[in-house]
């Protein structure tokens, strides 16, 4: 497997439907052995981009290469080395989990012995022993999703597209899936990953691209995006023996343009570019009104806050 250079190269990609550009002049590279997060609000053009990258549709303009091969002219060669898990549910209703995995391996030309070994490995890795003998149409949404993701690992691949792979999963199953993907990436797999859950992005992704209204508006590492768009700061103040609801009328005039949250009855969280100066004013206000402070914490911006900032500016 090639591990140097770019696994995916996109230059000037456009997808036009009538007079509308669903994707407009998008360019980026994805290095081998990395997890590339592709984020954006609904309707940003993510799904259209993925359809181009997975050779389902041809681009209106621009150049797209995967493994150094053109996605239009060499689609078959690319598909042989690629796995795809799309948002849409996909399962074999009348087959048990074990037989569905085995069938998927058979379609990829995997030997019977290797299919048996890989099936057992994936059933353990995705914690599916309790329902491995059940038919897919008897499973919950989360269980079906686990099967849908697991079966893609029945065959060897160099690149995996994961489009909202944890939809319907509980926190434990979600972390199990992400940990398995991480393990495969350490072995050289490249992953193109979309999600709306920022904790997953921070946990898994080496680099992030943010798309909005068909255009790429930011691309960097998670730490780089936080540093670049970290103007929004947050402070948390915990009061002593005073519910924050009872003093909100005092705080709001000071933090009128800020995002105000109350994660607990005695805690207020203020996010703003002016959070530092607001904090000083609030401390003075509390002092004048004999409101005691239990603790103060200054928090860096979360990736979700950065995402909202970037999309909002665009």
What's the pLDDT tens digit per position in 63-114?
Answer: 999 999 999 999 999 999 999 998 887 888 889 999 999 999 999 999 999 9
Banded model confidence at residue 275, pLDDT cuts 50, 70, 90: confident
pLDDT tens figures, 9-31: 999 999 999 999 999 999 999 99
pLDDT of residue 173: 92
CATH numbers and ranges of domains, the chain: 6-219 (3.40.50.300), 229-313 (3.30.2130.10)
Q: Is 268 exposed, middle or buried (0-12, 13-18, 19+ CB in 10 A)?
A: buried
Coil vs helix vs strand at 16: strand
- For residue 83, CA distances in Å to 30, 72, 179, 190, 279 come to 16, 17, 18, 10, 50
> Does residue 231 have a pLDDT over 80?
no
SS3 (DSSP) at 169: coil
Q: Which residues lie closer than 8 Å to 70 by C-beta, 6 or more apart?
A: 63, 64
Average confidence score pLDDT of the chain: 92
pLDDT at 195 over 50: yes
Q: What percent of the chain has pLDDT over 90?
A: 77
pLDDT at residue 299 above 80?
Answer: no
pLDDT value at 51 more than 50 = yes
Q: Extract the tokens encoding 297.
A: 């914490």
Query: Residue 239 pLDDT more than 90?
Result: yes
Residues 6+ apart with CB under 8 A from 28: 8, 10, 209, 216, 219
The DSSP call for residue 131 is G
Which tokens hold the place of 268?
């207020």
Q: Do residues 39 and 50 touch, judged by C-beta distance below 8 A?
A: no
Query: What whole-number distance in Å separates Cα of residue 153 and Cα of residue 79?
Result: 14
291 bridge partner residues: none
Distance CA 178, CA 200 (A): 8
Task: Give the pLDDT confidence score for residue 232 in this predicted structure.
Answer: 55
pLDDT at position 257, please?
83
What is the Cα–Cα distance from 22 to 59, expressed in whole angstroms? 11
pLDDT exceeds 70 at position 259 = yes
Q: Is the pLDDT of residue 8 over 80?
A: yes
Give the SS3 label for residue 198: helix
pLDDT above 90: residue 271: no
**Cβ-contact 251, 282 below 8 angstroms:** yes
pLDDT at 301: 75
Q: Identify the three-state secondary structure at position 128.
A: coil
How buried is 140 (Cβ within 10 angstroms: 0-12 exposed, 13-18 middle, 19+ buried)? exposed
Q: Is the pTM of this model over 0.85?
A: no
What 3-state DSSP class applies to 221? coil
Average pLDDT rounded to a whole number, residues 53-64 = 95
């Amino acid at each position: 497997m090639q591990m140097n250079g770019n696994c995916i190269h996109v230059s000037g990609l456009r997808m036009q439907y009538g007079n509308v550009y669903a994707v407009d002049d998008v360019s980026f590279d994805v290095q081998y052995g990395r997890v590339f997060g592709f984020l954006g609000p609904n309707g940003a053009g993510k799904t259209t981009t993925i359809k181009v990258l997975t050779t389902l549709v041809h681009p209106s303009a621009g150049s797209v290469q995967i493994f150094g091969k053109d996605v239009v002219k060499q689609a078959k060669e690319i598909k042989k080395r690629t796995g795809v898990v799309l948002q849409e549910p996909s399962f074999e209703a009348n087959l048990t989990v074990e037989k569905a995995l085995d069938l998927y391996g058979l379609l990829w030309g995997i030997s019977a012995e290797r299919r048996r070994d890989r099936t057992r490995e994936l059933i353990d890795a995705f914690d599916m022993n309790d329902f491995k003998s059940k038919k897919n149409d008897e499973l919950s949404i989360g269980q079906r999703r686990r099967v849908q993701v697991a079966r893609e690992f029945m065959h060897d691949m160099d690149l995996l597209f994961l489009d909202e792979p944890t939809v319907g999963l509980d926190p434990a199953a979600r972390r199990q899936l992400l940990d398995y993907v991480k393990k495969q990436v350490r072995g050289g797999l490249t992953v193109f990953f979309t999600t709306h859950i920022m904790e997953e992005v921070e946990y898994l992704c080496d680099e992030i691209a943010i798309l909005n209204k068909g255009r790429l508006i930011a691309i960097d590492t998670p730490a780089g995006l936080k540093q670049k768009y970290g103007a929004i700061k947050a402070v948390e103040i915990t009061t002593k023996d005073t519910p924050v609801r009872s003093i909100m009328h005092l705080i709001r005039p000071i933090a009128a343009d800020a995002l105000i949250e109350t994660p607990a009855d005695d805690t207020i969280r203020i996010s703003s570019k002016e959070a530092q100066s607001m904090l000083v004013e609030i401390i003075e206000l509390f002092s004048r009104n004999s409101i005691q402070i239990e603790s103060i914490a200054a928090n860096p911006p979360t990736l979700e806050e950065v995402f909202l900032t970037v999309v909002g500016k665009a």
